[in-house]
Amino acid sequence: MKNFMQSLPDGWTIYVWMVAGGLIILAAIFGIRWAHKNEQFDEDIKYLVFDENDKDKMSSEEFRKAQEVNKKQVQRRKEVLAEKAREKQQRDA
């Protein structure tokens, strides 16, 4: 193996770095694509940690927004679970 490495022409390592860099860029693109498809870029996610007991810690506007976001998330969760159940049913059929 040592002889093989020494027999390579000068400057071959740049190609290894270029391939590695290209793979990293591709992985980043696929990661961002996955995150977008799976609704990971949600600015309102910060409101999901609040519940009824936090009403006194927030302004009325923030509390209302938190309630709206929680309601939307519960609805979206039901939709996703129903969709997955339909897909599973179609696969099993």
55: amino acid identity, one letter: K
Task: List the chain pLDDT tens, one digit each, 93 residues.
Answer: 778 878 878 888 899 999 999 999 999 999 999 999 988 887 887 777 888 888 888 888 888 888 898 899 899 999 999 999 999 999 987
Q: What is the pLDDT of residue 46?
A: 79
45, 68 Cβ separation under 8 angstroms? no
Using the Cα atoms of residue 55, residue 59, residue 61 and residue 65 in order, give the sign of their dihedral. negative
CA distance readout (Å), 15 to 9, 10, 20, 28, 74: 12, 11, 8, 20, 49
Kindly list the domain boundaries of the chain, sorted by start residue: 1-41, 43-93
Whole-model pTM? 0.58
Whole-angstrom distance, CA of residue 64 vs CA of residue 70? 10
Q: What is the pLDDT of residue 78?
A: 95
Q: What is the pLDDT of residue 93?
A: 75
